[in-house]
Chain A
C-alpha cells in the first residue's frame, strides 16, 4: 500500500479544499508536516483512518463535528453542506480511490453525528470501476485491527502493548500474517461442514447418532451465546478502563493531585509487569502439570516393583545371568564348572538343568535390569518435578506478596487523594474508584465466562468422541460417522497448525523487535516478546525486567512498529517469489505518525529521528516546531521527499504571528485571519 494523495474538503479545521501530495522516492521515504498545537496534526492523522474505516481515535473531541465550523456557520438554515476526505493509494499494482463523505441539510445550530457515505474505485491501466463492497475491499488490503501499527500517535504508542491490549495485538499480528485463514476454517467452516454431514443421518438413520448430533448442536449454540457475552464483557471492561484513564489524566492535570497521581502511575506500571509475570509463572506450572503430573502417582509403585524383583532374586526365582549355551556345553561334557561329574539322573545334573531352564529367560532378566534403571529415573524425575513446582509456587507467592505491597501503597495514595482539600480532586477520585470497581467486576465476569467456555469445549469434545465410537448398524449411518470423524480430525489438525504458526510468528517478531531496538537504543536493555505477546524490556546487566521510562517505552513502541512493518514486508516478498506457498499474509504498508517524540529529551529525539526513515518505505511524520530543532530536522529533512506547513489562521489578534524556519528559510506558521482555520502549504525541499 503506497499512499499517493490526500484531499480534504471542509474536514474539521481544514476549510475549503486542501491537498497533500504523498509520493516519495526510495532514498527519501519521509514526508514531514509541521504545525502548532491545535493546527490539525491529529486531524490529519485521523483523516486517513476516517476515510479508510470511518473511525476517529479516542483522543479526538467532538467527533460529530466532521464539517468545518466556518463552513457550517456560513450555511443558511435549510441549505446543504458537506465534508469529505479522499485517499488515493496504490496496492499490488492497482490504483485505489477511497472517498468518504458526509452531506446534510442544516436544521440546527449544532452539528449532529451523521452516517458517512463511502465510494471506493479501483483502476488498472486507466480502466476504472466502482468496488461494490468498498469497506470489505479496504479490510482485505489493510484490516482495521492493524491500523494501530500504521496510523498512530507517538505519545500514546505504549498503550499498544500494555495491559489488556495484548490479545488485540496478538489477533492483529495473526491477521497480518495470514493466520486468520486457518482461524476461519477452525471457527466457522469446518464446524458447519461437520454439522451439515451429521444432519444427513435423517429420521431413518441411527437414533443414537441423531441424539448425539442434537446434543452437540445445543452445546455449540450455547457456546456461541457465551462467546457473544464474553465479547460484550470485554468491551464493557474496556469502556470502564477508558473512564478510569480519563479520571487519571484529570487528576494529573490538577496541581494538588499531580504528585500523588504520578506516584500512582509508577505503581501501576510495576503492577502490570508483576501481573504479566504471575500469569507466565502460572502458565509454566500448568504446563508442568499437564506434561508430568502422572509422575506424582508413581511414588511407591516403583519401590514395590523393585522389592518384588529383589525378593524373587533372593528366592532364586529370578534368572541368573549365565548364558544357556554355556550350560548346554557343561551338560554335553558331563562335567560341571566346579569339576564335579554330571551323570544322568544325578542331583547335581538335575540342579544344573533347572538352572539351564532359568538361563533361557535371560531376556526377561535384561528387561528387569532395564526396569530397575527406569525406576531409578522415575525417582529422579519425581524429585525434579517437585523442585520445579516448588520453584513455581515460591515465585508466584513472591510475586503476589509484591502485588499486595503495591496494592497497599496504592490504597494509601487513594486515601491521601480523598483527603485533598479540593472538591474537584475528591470528586474525581470517587469517580475513578467507582469505574475501577466496575471494571474489576466486568473482568471477574469475563473470567467466569471464559471458564464456562472451556467447560463447554470439553462437553462438545466428549459428545464428539461418543459420536465417533458409537456402534451403528446401517451402512449409511456408518458412512456419515466416518465422514464426520474425518472432518473432526482435520479440525484438530488445524488447531495444532495454528498453535505452531502463531509461535513461529511470535519468534520471528521477537527477533525483529530485538534487532530494531538494538539499532535505536544503546542502553543494556533487550526487548522480549512473551508467549502472551506482551512486550517487556529486560535489563541484561541485572537480568531483570527494566523499569521503563517514557523514552524507553516510546523506543520500544517504535521498535515494535518497525518490526511488524519489516516482518509484513518480508512475508510479502517471500509470497511474491513462491506464490504457491501455503501461507498468505504480509504486505508493504506506510506509517503515518503524529508526535513521534512525545516529550522525549534531545538525545532520544536524535536517536529516533535517525531511525524513523529506516522504519518503512513510506513514513508521514507530523511535528510541532519545538520538536523539529537542530539535529532532528537534519536527520529527518535529509530523508524527506516533501515537506508541508500547517499554517494556522487565528482571529485572536493579541496573539503574535509566527514563522517556522526550514532549510534556512522562514515560512508563515501562525497568521491572523478572519476566522480560525488551517491551510496546507508546501515547503520547497
Chain B
C-alpha cells in the first residue's frame, strides 16, 4: 500500500536530493563507459550534501 510519495516523505531532505541524483546517474548509463565513474559521482554528491 506504500507509494513513491510515502517513501520520499519519510526521507531527510538530503536523502531526497541524493535519491534523485542517483536515479539520474543510473539512467545515464554512466557505468557502461566507466564502471567507477558512477560510484565516484555518488561519493561526490554525498560529500556535498553531508558536509
Contact = CB atoms under 8 A, between A and B. Distances in A.
Contact of B23 (A140, A181, A192): A181
A266 interface: no
B9 to A, nearest CB: 11
Given A197-B46, A490-B18, A493-B15, A189 B23 contact: no
Contacts of A182: 23, 26
B7 A500 contact: yes
Contacts of B29: 140
A15 to B, nearest CB: 40
Contact of A189 (B3, B12, B38): B38
Interface in B1-51: 2-4, 7-8, 10-12, 14-15, 18-19, 22-23, 25-27, 29, 31-32, 38-40, 42-43, 46-47, 49-51
A136 interface: yes
A136 B32 contact: yes
Contacts of A489: 11-12, 15
B42 A486 contact: no
For this complex, into which size category does the number of interface residues on chain A fall?
Answer: 20 to 34
A499 B29 CA distance: 22
B36 to A, nearest CB: 8
A218 interface: no
A290 interface: no
Contact of A196 (B2, B43, B50): B43
Interface of B: 2-4, 7-8, 10-12, 14-15, 18-19, 22-23, 25-27, 29, 31-32, 38-40, 42-43, 46-47, 49-51
A97 to B, nearest CB: 21
Contacts of B7: 493, 496-497, 500
A486 B26 contact: no
15 contacts: A136-B32, A181-B23, A185-B26, A190-B22, A190-B42, A193-B39, A193-B43, A483-B50, A486-B12, A490-B11, A493-B8, A493-B11, A493-B15, A493-B19, A497-B4
B35 to A, nearest CB: 9
Contact of B2 (A197, A486, A500): A500
Label chain B's interface by main secondary structure.
helix
Contacts of B27: 181, 584
Given A136-B32, A479-B51, A487 B46 contact: yes
A624 B17 CA distance: 58
Find the residue from A184, A193, A479, A485 having the highest chain B CB count within 10 A: A193
Given A192-B39, A497-B4, A184 B18 contact: no
Given A489-B12, A493-B15, A497-B7, A185 B23 contact: yes
Contacts of B4: 497, 500-501
B15 A486 contact: yes
Chain A interface mostly: helix
A486 B22 contact: no
Interface of A: 136, 140, 181-182, 184-185, 188-190, 192-193, 196-197, 479, 482-483, 485-487, 489-490, 493-494, 496-497, 499-501, 582, 584
A192 B27 CA distance: 18
Contacts of A140: 29, 32
A195 to B, nearest CB: 9
A486 B14 contact: yes
* Best-surrounded residue of A140, A188, A490, A493 (most CB of chain B within 10 A): A490
B22 A482 contact: no
A500 B39 CA distance: 25
Nearest to B21: A490
B26 A181 contact: yes
A196 B46 CA distance: 11
A508 B14 CA distance: 32
